[in-house]
Amino acid sequence: MAVFINEAVCEGCGDCGEKSSCLSVQPIETEFGRKTSIHQSSCNKDFTCLDGDCPAFIEVIPGGSIPEKSTLAISEIGDDQVEPDRLDEGNVLMMGIGGTGVVTVNQLLATAALLDGKEAHGLDQTGLAQKGGPVVSNLKIRRPDSELELGEANKIATGEADAYIVFDLISGTNPANLEKAMPGRTVALVSSSKVPTGAMVRDTSAEYPEWSALQATIDNATIAEKNIYYDAGNLSDNLFRSHMPANILVLGSAYQSGVVPISSAAIERAIELNGVAVEMNTQAFRIGRQIVIEPGFLDSLDIERVGKVAREVKMSASVAELINGVSEPSEELERLLNIRVADLVEYQNLKYARTYVEKVNAVRVAEAAATDETRLSETFARYLYKVMAYKDEYEVARLHRSQAFQDAVREQFGDRSKVTYKLHPPSMRRMGLEKKIGLGRSGDVAFAALRRLKFLRGTPLDLFGNTAHRKMERGLIDEYQQMIDQAISVLSRDSYDRAVAIAELPDMIRGYEEIKEANVEKFREAAKDLLG
């Protein structure tokens, strides 16, 4: 059994991460903001994440066939690849996270060096690696007639790394590791996969460092023009349905860059002797090499984030007409509207979507009169949609029955997989139900019926709309609009940044029921501070 999160239903509140403290419960960035995903290939199956107060969780029993996620037939890459000009001896520094195979890669290289008739001197600095802490592996490879000097340690000294192999970006930018690199000598091979820290899993305000800053930090300490970056984790998940070969992919790229002074035959033989997933790891090594051999190779693959639940955009003539009524939208605003207006029609109806467009247009007109910037209208378009498309029972039903969600489950778990929705319905919660219930096929039937009843939303016949929580959600639409009206009534170049900050406030409104209510209070306090 596996646990899967429908990211369209997820609010990115972080409750599941806080309750599980599991690094497989990973924050992800989507079109609709920060969400949460279960990294399937590293999941330890303790299922404590299910305690998260959220209807986005489902249990899945895999079954049937899984469609190919990539256009690449990995068996096509044989052992006749172009060999690089490589060092005869050198120093390889690798860094990553405990439990992901960093030490194993170091052992593979040491074995390969011995098979090549060379000397290997290694040191693994594991620290708290068993608990997901940092791991740094040092390997000095020498010709048999060129052993370490008397008193020379196995640990690579400052500025002496030839290969700087990064399996984890945070570790790769650690100054203690970077000091081993040297501009003009060191080549960096980097997996750009964003592996969250424990703080990022538990705290929605903890963000991953800016990618451009991380890359610049590594480039400044190495030979930037020779460095290679790609998301090895996602590539591995797509190609092999496992994150474990990710490090071998990067190793292959390091080898082909010429900074690993061992033959490819010896490395592949070491993989064979290790006896673990030999064919998969051999292909991963060759694919990593091919990424360097063939520029544009990665672009030839059909790679997406595994588990992604794409929203279905149903553009109609009526939707296009609404969007065309917006005054001089920026390219980004038009993109945002194309997605969100169509979705609001599916959420409720065309009238509801028209209200959204009219409100966005009013802000755009005010913005254009005050400045030549467009951030305010773009931000307002994002977050007005968020407060208008609040996730009540009808919406959760629609999102769980969407074709995009059904496709995501089949692509990851098979076309005959069985799904159980884990729910804690507010109505049953108020009657004393303390734990989630599981709904299988009956859930599909209930969701199909509920999604057809969306026309009842907000009417006297709305079975779910008379609670204090739903009234609060509906009230937030006007509450947010009033904040924006106040901001644009005095909009100028000087007040523009403050108006954008006000427009961004709904980003903190996350979660369901009590969690959302607590976040709404934070939203209101922040609004008071900004509005004065």
What domain range is 372 assigned to? 317-392+464-531
Tell me, yes or no, whether 312 lies in a domain.
Answer: no
User: Please, which pLDDT band fits residue 1 given cuts at 50, 70 and 90?
Assistant: confident
DSSP 227: -
Judge whether residue 151 has pLDDT over 60. Answer: no
513 plus 471 within the same structural domain: yes
The total of other beta-carbon atoms located within 10 Å of residue 232's CB is 29
Nearest to 192 by CA among 248, 233, 146, 155: 233
105 plus 179 within the same structural domain: yes
Tell me, yes or no, whether 309 lies in a domain.
Answer: no
pLDDT at 26: 86
Tell me, yes or no, whether 310 lies in a domain.
Answer: no
Tell me, yes or no, whether 410 lies in a domain.
Answer: yes
**Secondary element (H or E) of residue 399:** helix 393-400
For residue 146, what are the contacts with CB-CB under 8 A and spacing of at least 6?
Answer: 89, 119
Q: How far is CA 422 from CA 267, 269, 392, in A?
A: 46, 47, 16
280 plus 232 within the same structural domain: yes
For residue 388, what are the contacts with CB-CB under 8 A and spacing of at least 6?
Answer: 344, 347, 352, 355, 356, 477
Burial class (CB in 10 A: 0-12, 13-18, 19+), 421: buried
DSSP H helical segments within 71-161, as ranges? Answer: 102-115
Tell me, yes or no, whether 191 lies in a domain.
Answer: yes
- For the chain, what is the domain count? 3
Q: How many CA atoms lie within 13 A of 511 on its CB side?
A: 24
281 plus 373 within the same structural domain: no
481-494 average pLDDT score: 94
User: Please, which pLDDT band fits residue 22 given cuts at 50, 70 and 90?
Assistant: confident
User: Please, which pLDDT band fits residue 129 given cuts at 50, 70 and 90?
Assistant: very low
Judge whether residue 69 has pLDDT over 60. Answer: no
pLDDT at 127: 62
269 plus 335 within the same structural domain: no
Higher pLDDT, 304 or 264: 264
220-239 average pLDDT score: 92
524 plus 446 within the same structural domain: no
Last-in-domain residue among 267, 300, 333:
300
**Secondary element (H or E) of residue 482:** helix 468-489
The total of other beta-carbon atoms located within 10 Å of residue 457's CB is 21
pLDDT at 296: 85
516-531 tens-digit pLDDT: 999 999 999 999 999 8
372-398 average pLDDT score: 96
250-264 tens-digit pLDDT: 999 999 999 999 999
Q: Residue 186 maps to which CATH number?
A: 3.40.920.10
Q: How far is CA 421 from CA 50, 391, 527, in A?
A: 11, 16, 36
What integer best gives the mean pLDDT of the chain?
Answer: 89
424 plus 473 within the same structural domain: no
46-52 average pLDDT score: 87
pLDDT at 262: 96
425 plus 381 within the same structural domain: no
Judge whether residue 70 has pLDDT over 50. Answer: no
Q: Are 245 and 277 in contact (CB under 8 A)?
A: yes
Lowest mean pLDDT among 123-137, 157-171, 176-190, 378-392: 123-137
Higher pLDDT, 128 or 477: 477
What are phi and psi for residue 363, nearest 5 degrees?
-70, -40
User: Please, which pLDDT band fits residue 434 given cuts at 50, 70 and 90?
Assistant: confident
pLDDT at 71: 38
Judge whether residue 128 has pLDDT over 60. Answer: no
Longest dimension (CA), the chain: 88
User: Please, which pLDDT band fits residue 299 given cuts at 50, 70 and 90?
Assistant: confident
pLDDT at 24: 84
Q: Are 297 and 291 in contact (CB under 8 A)?
A: yes
Rounded Cα gap, residues 416 and 174, in angstroms: 45
Rounded Cα gap, residues 530 and 287, in angstroms: 52
Tell me, yes or no, whether 277 lies in a domain.
Answer: yes
Tell me, yes or no, whether 420 lies in a domain.
Answer: yes
Q: 496-503 and 513-531 are packed helices; what angle lies between their axes, rounded to 10 degrees?
A: 170
pLDDT at 265: 95
The number of residues in the chain equals: 532
Last-in-domain residue among 248, 266, 300:
300
311-327 average pLDDT score: 84
**Report field, pTM of the whole predicted structure over 0.85:** no
Judge whether residue 72 has pLDDT over 50. Answer: no
pLDDT at 441: 87
Tell me, yes or no, whether 311 lies in a domain.
Answer: no
3-state DSSP call for residue 416?
Answer: coil
416 plus 512 within the same structural domain: no
100 plus 149 within the same structural domain: yes
100 plus 19 within the same structural domain: no
DSSP 210: P
Last-in-domain residue among 300, 329, 348:
300
Strand partners, 420: 59
Rounded Cα gap, residues 280 and 249, in angstroms: 10
pLDDT at 412: 83
3-state DSSP call for residue 422?
Answer: strand
User: Please, which pLDDT band fits residue 304 given cuts at 50, 70 and 90?
Assistant: low
Lowest mean pLDDT among 117-121, 200-204, 337-341: 200-204
Nearest to 180 by CA among 150, 215, 218: 218
pLDDT at 295: 86
Residue 152 amino acid letter = E
Q: Are 200 and 14 in contact (CB under 8 A)?
A: no
283 plus 323 within the same structural domain: no
